[in-house]
Amino acid sequence: MDAIYTKNLTKEYDGFKAVDNLNLKVEEGQIYGFLGPNGAGKTTTMLMLLGILKPTQGEIRIMGESLSKNPLSIKKKIGVVSEKQYLYREMTAQEYLNFFADLYKVKNKKNRIEQLLAAVDLLDVRNRKLGAFSRGMQQKLGFARALLHEPELLLLDEPVSGLDPTGIKQVRDLIEKENKKGKTVFISSHLLSEVEKLCNKVAIINKGKLLAEETMENLRKKLTEFTQLEVELVEINKDILDALSSFEFIKEIHQEKNFLILKITTDKDHRAEISAAIAEKGGVVLGIKIREMSLEEAFITITQKNISLLASNKEATQ
C-alpha cells in the first residue's frame, strides 16, 4: 500500500498552475524527500495532501484511502510539522500538547507528552508560556505535537529550519527513530543537504512539475554524472575557447578572469586532452584542479541554476 499516492494532481490559481499534473508514489516506511526551489509548488502540494487546499484536478490517496472521501479520519493518521510554528502564545507547552492530545484522542496522554517533551529537550520548560519560546524551541514543540498521536505518516515542511546544529541532530534522530518504528516520512525542503542523509527516495519539483523521482542512490549517481575542472591560464583567447567547445565531454564553459571553469562528464580523466588542446592554440596552462561538486550544486544544476535559491542556500547554511 502506498502511503501517499497522487495522480495528475493540479492546482490552478487564476490560470497559473502552481502544481501541474503531479504524480507521486510514496511507499509505506520510506523517508521521502520532496525537493524544489522556493515557489516550486511544494507547500501547495503539502496543503493539498492535508486537505487544506482543494486540488483543481487530480486524485490523492493517503494510506490507501481517498482524501476527498474521508478527510477527517485520514488527517488523524498524519502528523505535520510546518516550517513556521503557529502556537497559542498564552498556553504553556504542557497545555498545548494536552490540547492536541485531546483533539487526537491520545491514550495515556500524560506519559506520551512527558516522553515527547523529554525527546525534544523541552521537559524543563513545559510550564512556560509559548510566547516566551525561541524559534528553535517552537520548532521542537511542533515536532512533539506532530508525533503526539503516533501518526502513520509524517509530513514535514522544512523541518530543521531555524534549528541550531544540536536541534538539527535531535530532530534527525527523531525522524530516524520514528521511521524505524515503521512510519512513513515525507520531507519537503529546498535544501538537498537537509534530506540527503535521511531520505531513501527523492522527488524534485520545479514550477509545479515533477522533474525527477529517484532513489537517493540513483540521484546521487545522476547528480555526480558531471564534474568541474578549474583551469588556470596565463591568457585566455577565442581560439582556446573554440577548441574546448568542440569537445563533446565538455558540457559548459565558464570564464572567471584567467580561470576557465569546465563542466565535464565523469566517464574518464580528460585533463590531458584539455591541456593538449590549450597548448595547441598557444595557451599556457598554469594549473588544472578538479573542483568537487556537492549534491547541492548538482541539485541546483538540475533545477536550472536558480539564483534566488543560491541566495537562500547561503542564508540557510550560515
Partner 1 sequence: MNEKGISLSAHTMKVLIKRELISSIYGWGLYIAVFISFLLSSFILRNFMRGIGQNNIFISSYPLNLPLFISVVIISLYLVIVSAISISREKEHGTLEVLFYGPVSSSSFLLGKYITDMLLYVIILGFFAVYFLGVSLLTNLGFTLALGKAFLVSIFLASCMISFGLFISSLTGRVRSSIVWLIGILLAFLGIWFLENIFIHIPPESLSSWLLYIQKTLSVIYHFVNWVSPFSYLSRGMESIRIGSIKPFLLNIIYSTIYTVVLLLLSIYILKSKGVRA
Partner 2 sequence: MRLKRASLIYNIIFLLILIPGLAITSSAQQEEKQPSINLTPLLKEQLVYSLNVFDGKGWSGSFVPKTESTIYLIANKDNAICAKKTLVYFWPITVRYIAAWRTLDEDVKGVLEVLKDGKIIEKLKKQDTVLCYPEGYWGEKVVLYKGNEAIKWYKKYKKAEDEYYKALNKYYEARIEYRKKMNKFFEEIKKRREKGEKGPLNIEIPKEPEPPKPPNFFVTEPRKYYVLNLPVGKYKIRLRAKDKTIVEGSEKELLVFTARRREGVGYEIIPGNRWTKREECNDPANAIYAAGKNVLYFRPYRQDEYNELYHNKLLDPQNRGRIENWKWVHTEPIKNVQLLLFSKDNLLKRIDKKPYKVEQIPGPELGYNIVEFKKGKLPGEKPTFEGYQLILSENLPEKSYRIYLQKEGENNNIISTSEREIRLVKRRNANFLFYLSIFPLIIGGVMFVLRYRKIEK
Binding footprint of partner 2 on the chain (CB under 8 A): 14, 92, 125, 127-129
Measured distance CA(285)–CA(261) in Å, rounded: 13
Measured from the CB atom, the residue of 130 and 175 that comes closer to partner 2 is 130
Which one of partner 2, partner 1, none interacts with residue 108, CB within 5 to 8 A by kind?
A: none
Q: Does 72 bind partner 1 (CB under 8 A)?
A: yes
Q: Does 80 bind partner 1 (CB under 8 A)?
A: yes
Dihedral of CA atoms 105, 106, 108, 114 in degrees, nearest 10, equals -130
Do 271 and 229 touch, CB atoms closer than 8 A? yes
Measured distance CA(86)–CA(101) in Å, rounded: 17
Q: How far is the CB of 221 from partner 1 (least distance, A)?
A: 36
Which one of partner 1, partner 2, none interacts with residue 102, CB within 5 to 8 A by kind?
A: partner 1
C-alpha cell recorded at residue 61: 490517496
Measured from the CB atom, the residue of 83 and 196 that comes closer to partner 1 is 83
* Buried residues in 261-295 as b, exposed as e (16+ CB within 10 A): ebbbeeeeebbeebeebbeeeebebeebeeeebeb
Residue from 1, 14, 16, 86 binding partner 1 (CB under 8 A): 86
CB burial of residue 145 (10 Å; 0-12, 13-18, 19+): buried
Which one of partner 1, partner 2, none interacts with residue 36, CB within 5 to 8 A by kind?
A: none
Q: Does 187 bind partner 1 (CB under 8 A)?
A: no
Q: How far is the CB of 64 from partner 1 (least distance, A)?
A: 18
Q: How far is the CB of 124 from partner 2 (least distance, A)?
A: 9
DSSP letters along 90-120, please? Answer: TSBHHHHHHHHHHHTT-TTHHHHHHHHHHHT
Only one residue has cell 597548448, namely 279
Which one of partner 1, partner 2, none interacts with residue 104, CB within 5 to 8 A by kind?
A: partner 1
Measured from the CB atom, the residue of 127 and 245 that comes closer to partner 2 is 127
Dihedral of CA atoms 97, 48, 169, 180 in degrees, nearest 10, equals 90
Q: Does 180 bind partner 1 (CB under 8 A)?
A: no
Measured from the CB atom, the residue of 130 and 274 that comes closer to partner 2 is 130
Do 79 and 68 touch, CB atoms closer than 8 A? no
- Please give the residue ranges that form the binding site for partner 1 (CB under 8 A): 50-53, 71-73, 75-76, 78, 80, 82, 84, 86-91, 99-100, 102-105, 145
